[in-house]
């Protein structure tokens, strides 16, 4: 497992958590965007 990819994912998750706190009303929408983003990252990483 590539540690650089892990660090990048953790940083992106932290950014999304910040966005979730800023936009609490659209939490389900942000969560969906996060899931799509993680899926895209996994696809790009070749998992």
What pLDDT digit, counting tens, does each position of 1-47 carry? 678 988 998 998 888 878 777 766 666 776 788 888 888 877 776 65
Could you tell me where the beta strands, DSSP code E, fall in 1-47?
none
CB 9 within 8 A of CB 47: no
Confirm whether pTM is higher than 0.75: no
Q: For position 11, what pLDDT does the model report?
A: 92
Nearest CA-CA partner of 37 in 3, 1, 2, 11: 11
Give me the pLDDT at residue 27, please.
66
Look at residue 16 in the predicted model and tell me its pLDDT.
80
**Residue 3 DSSP SS3:** helix
């Amino acid at each position: 497992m590539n540690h650089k990819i892990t660090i990048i994912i953790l940083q992106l998750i932290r950014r999304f958590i910040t966005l979730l706190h800023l936009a609490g009303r659209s939490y389900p929408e942000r969560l969906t965007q996060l899931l799509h983003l993680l899926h895209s990252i996994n696809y790009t990483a070749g998992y």
